[in-house]
């Protein structure tokens, strides 16, 4: 994958959108984690349109906004972005009056107060927990990109916001996509049915191109535009959290548990790094049932194919799920072969339709939230173990409850 562009195809990068993976429509809850059901087609007629606001109007925001428009069940009412000109430009494209296009760090509060029923949160992940909580407290449904947070306090705050949303009969959907693909669902279902025999170990991979990595300015303002935030660990979560989360989330979905410990190592291998993100990492996760899960991470421009996949190795067969490419079960008596077209568009389209249907049909169980919490905690555990070159348990991580600080001095309120 190349240096950061908008598409999820090989050779492309991900600054305009790298949020993809959610639980399926009408999910089943297994061990506290959401199991995706077969995707349902989006509705073609709507009793009414849901008044929605867009928080984050850069390339990723405009892209997801177009999918909401294509769905047909939403009406854009307000836009917020740190950069006022970006908010106004997006507003014009979405038919929103300039008076409801808000700039600055606090623009999202004005958007929430403008009369929206629902919000899309897709700006910089460090801000998501604060924005999501404010939206739920105000009575808005929430559709949030990934990762849902970049540190443990933020992840726990997202979990609390999801619970509050359910109490208030609001929908809260975390936009992950690998479990929406029918071929991945089929493979997962066969694994849960014993297709691999006793599971021995799992592997996952997140390979991408190098992120934008600009020099630091007098403030962090230049990191808030054009995906430059990906170079900053506090803002993005680091590569393993901001991109690899898709494979990590999918592994948590299939394994139906989050890790209890991780060991690893990471480094900066790119030349002349400006930001503090680590572009190479290797992590071994230990699962509660003894299964060993190994994860590989790379964000370099070295002609490697872009990869987001998970492989599961049993005593009698093996299996693979994918973001694009082959999905299969090989060996044993439950063979299966399928393929996954890039979920970049189709996964998000599925989730937009699920979001609308959940609101319209009063389905407020919000199962994607708990899996987003578990998957993001797993990714943060891997990041921290690899950064420290040590073994770290999930209990130790949670007890530390370490907050990643961001200096907001000099920014427009």
Distance separating alpha carbons of residues 32 and 372, to the nearest angstrom: 11
User: With contact defined as beta carbons under 8 Å apart, do 118 and 139 qualify?
Assistant: no
Nearest to 311 by CA among 204, 232, 408: 204
Distance separating alpha carbons of residues 74 and 165, to the nearest angstrom: 20
Q: What phi, psi does 63 have (nearest 5°)?
A: -65, -50
Distance separating alpha carbons of residues 88 and 94, to the nearest angstrom: 10
DSSP 218: S
Which element (helix H / strand E) includes 262?
Answer: strand 261-267
Going from the N-terminus, what domains does the chain have, and what CATH number goes with each? 28-174 (3.40.50.720), 179-343+367-400 (3.30.360.10)
Span 286-331, pLDDT tens digits: 999 999 999 999 999 999 999 999 999 999 999 999 999 999 999 9
Distance separating alpha carbons of residues 120 and 147, to the nearest angstrom: 14
State if pTM tops 0.85: yes
User: Residue written as tokens 């002349």?
Assistant: 272
Mean pLDDT of 344-355: 94
Distance separating alpha carbons of residues 4 and 227, to the nearest angstrom: 8
Q: What phi, psi does 38 have (nearest 5°)?
A: -60, 130
Distance separating alpha carbons of residues 185 and 80, to the nearest angstrom: 36
Helix axes 245-255, 182-192, angle to 10 degrees: 40
CA atoms within 13 A on the CB side of 250: 32
Residue 16 above 50 pLDDT?
Answer: no
Strand (E) positions, 1-73?
A: 28-30, 33-35, 50-55
Which pLDDT belongs to residue 42? 52
Residue 20 above 80 pLDDT?
Answer: no
Tokens of residue 248, six digits: 């990590």
- Sheet with 172-174, strands from edge to edge, namely 101-102, 74-80, 50-55, 118-121, 141-144, 172-174
Span 104-144, pLDDT tens digits: 999 999 999 999 999 999 999 999 999 999 999 999 999 99
Residues contacting residue 233 through CB under 8 Å, at least 6 positions apart = 150, 275, 276, 277, 278, 383, 404
């Amino acid at each position: 994958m190349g240096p950061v562009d908008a598409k999820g195809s090989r050779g492309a990068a991900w600054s305009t959108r790298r949020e993809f993976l959610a639980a399926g429509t009408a999910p089943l809850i297994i061990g506290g984690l959401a199991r995706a059901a077969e995707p349902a087609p989006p509705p073609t007629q709507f009793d009414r349109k849901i008044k929605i606001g867009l928080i984050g109007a850069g390339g990723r925001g405009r892209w997801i906004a177009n999918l909401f428009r294509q769905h047909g069940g939403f009406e854009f009412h307000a836009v917020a972005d740190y950069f006022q000109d970006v908010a106004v430009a997006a507003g014009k494209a979405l038919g929103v009056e300039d008076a409801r296009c808000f700039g600055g760090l606090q623009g999202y509060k004005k958007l929430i107060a403008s009369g929206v029923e629902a919000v899309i949160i897709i700006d910089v992940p460090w801000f998501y927990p604060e924005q999501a909580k404010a939206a739920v407290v105000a009575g808005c449904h929430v559709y949030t990109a990934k990762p849902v947070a970049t540190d443990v306090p933020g992840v726990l705050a997202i979990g609390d916001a999801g619970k509050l949303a359910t109490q208030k009969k609001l929908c809260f959907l975390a936009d992950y996509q690998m479990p929406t693909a029918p071929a991945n669902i089929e493979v997962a279902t066969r694994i849960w049915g014993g297709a691999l025999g006793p599971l021995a170990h799992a592997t996952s991979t997140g390979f991408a191109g190098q992120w934008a990595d600009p020099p630091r300015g007098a403030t962090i303002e230049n990191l808030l535009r054009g995906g430059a935030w990906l170079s900053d660990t506090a803002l993005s979560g680091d590569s393993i959290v901001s991109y690899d989360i898709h494979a990590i989330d999918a592994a948590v979905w299939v394994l139906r548990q989050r890790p209890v410990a991780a060991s690893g190592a990471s480094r900066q291998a790119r030349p002349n790094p400006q930001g503090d993100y680590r572009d190479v990492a290797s992590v071994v996760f230990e699962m509660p049932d003894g299964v060993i899960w190994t994860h590989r991470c790379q964000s370099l421009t070295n002609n490697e194919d872009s990869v987001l996949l998970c492989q599961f190795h049993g005593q009698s067969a093996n299996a693979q799920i994918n973001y694009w490419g082959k999905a299969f079960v090989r060996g044993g008596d439950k063979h299966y072969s399928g393929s996954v077209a890039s979920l970049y568009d189709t996964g998000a389209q599925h989730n937009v339709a699920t979001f609308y249907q959940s609101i319209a049909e009063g389905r407020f169980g919000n199962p994607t939230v708990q899996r987003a919490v578990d998957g993001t905690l797993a990714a943060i555990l891997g990041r921290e173990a690899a950064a420290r070159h040590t073994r770290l348990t999930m209990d130790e991580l949670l007890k530390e409850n370490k907050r990643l600080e961001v200096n907001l001095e000099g920014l427009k309120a």
